[in-house]
Amino acid sequence: MSSRLIKGYFKIVLQLLLLFFTVSVITSCAKKDVTSVKTIFIGSTEIRVELISRSPAREHIFLQLHDNEQTSAITAHRMVQASGGSFLRIENNHLRNITFRLDNALYAFDPNRIFSSPGIKKTLEENGQYDEAVEEEVNRFADSLLSMLRDKVIVALHNNSNGRYSVRKYLDDLKSNAAAVHINEVMDEDDFIYTTSNELFIALRHLNINVVLQDHEQVEDDGSLSVYCGRNQIVYVNVETEHGHEEEQYRLTKVVLNLLSRPLINK
């Protein structure tokens, strides 16, 4: 082989290696998490809302409203790293309720009870005191959250304590909130899916997964995001599991995402 051919061969090999390295770097960069933080003031209190994104973009968004539910945070991070998409979470020092100061007075609310006027009033009263000016502040915070969820299928992640909140509640105390309920007797009753989508409910029932379909007409307006979504034709899914049931929440969330990829469900 002549020296000219050898040089040409090595030149081609070097170019291919350079191309491979460039593509690898671009791919690696594209797969990194991108984190942005929005600061929202409620009264004089600063609340940080974190958005973690990774390519490819998805039609759904993961949501964690309660910062004390760390199993949900772990699950959402794992899902974004595995399949891309976005994860929106409220930073609240690992606490469920948000406490804020307005005009030298302290107020508190559950961030999943602020998506209607009756809900805001009730959660403020239950956690201390109510005032119309305070309701306006909380409502602005709710509107800010909703603006970050716009045009997305919402996949909320929540955790509960053993026996305190389960799929069976919707056959008893919460019966009026449910249009339909399916229970798999083998599953832990604290691990279930709650949705506003009839199509998703049917698909999950077919897979024999604990699932509740919200009754948009009869459900109590407690200010929860599911009620807001049901009344505004937004597909909402809550993957609810007991604290510490990380693998089950991850499994159920993967099932939900697979079903949401079907056009008739996520539209």
Calculate mean pLDDT across residues 53-69: 97
Q: What is the pLDDT of residue 167?
A: 98
- H or E element, residue 264: helix 263-266
DSSP strand pairing (34-42 vs 192-195): unpaired
What digits encode the pLDDT tens for the residues 143-176?
A: 999 999 999 999 999 999 998 999 999 999 999 9
Report whether pLDDT(136) > 80.
Answer: yes
Which has the minimum average pLDDT: 9-18, 103-112, 132-141? 9-18
Q: What is the pLDDT of residue 263?
A: 77
Distances in Å between the Cα of 107 and the Cα atoms of 96, 145, 177, 188 are 14, 19, 28, 36
Q: Is 166 exposed, middle or buried (0-12, 13-18, 19+ CB in 10 A)?
A: buried
Q: What is the pLDDT of residue 25?
A: 38
Q: What is the pLDDT of residue 9?
A: 53
DSSP strand pairing (211-214 vs 60-64): unpaired
Give 45's contacts (C-beta < 8 A, 6+ positions apart): 99, 100, 101
Range 198-206, long-range pairs (CB < 8 A, 24+ positions): 199/262, 199/264, 199/265, 200/235, 200/237, 200/256, 200/259, 200/260, 200/265, 203/259, 203/262, 203/265, 204/255, 204/256, 204/259, 205/180
Q: What is the pLDDT of residue 29?
A: 44
Q: Predicted confidence band at 262 (pLDDT cuts at 50, 70, 90)?
A: confident
Which has the minimum average pLDDT: 3-12, 131-140, 222-231, 243-252? 3-12
Give 225's contacts (C-beta < 8 A, 6+ positions apart): 63, 65, 112, 115, 154, 156, 236
Q: What is the pLDDT of residue 156?
A: 98
DSSP strand pairing (45-54 vs 98-102): unpaired
% residues pLDDT > 90 (the chain): 85
Q: How many CB atoms lie within 10 A of CB 220?
A: 14
Q: What is the pLDDT of residue 65?
A: 98
Closest listed residue to residue 158, CA positions, set 207, 192, 209, 206? 192
Calculate mean pLDDT across residues 198-226: 97
Q: At what angle do helices 246-260 and 70-83 cross, to 10 degrees?
A: 50
Calculate mean pLDDT across residues 184-205: 98
% residues pLDDT > 70 (the chain): 87
Q: Return d(Cα 160, Cα 196) in angstroms, integer.
A: 20
Region class of 63: left (phi > 0), else alpha (psi between -120 and 50), else beta: beta
Instruction: Show the CA angle centred on residue 148, arms to residues 64 and 248, nearest 5°.
Output: 25
Which has the minimum average pLDDT: 17-26, 28-37, 183-192? 17-26
Q: What is the pLDDT of residue 32?
A: 83
Report whether pLDDT(46) > 60.
Answer: yes
What digits encode the pLDDT tens for the residues 203-213?
A: 999 999 999 99
pTM attached to this predicted model: 0.87
- What are 83's two structure tokens? 């399949």
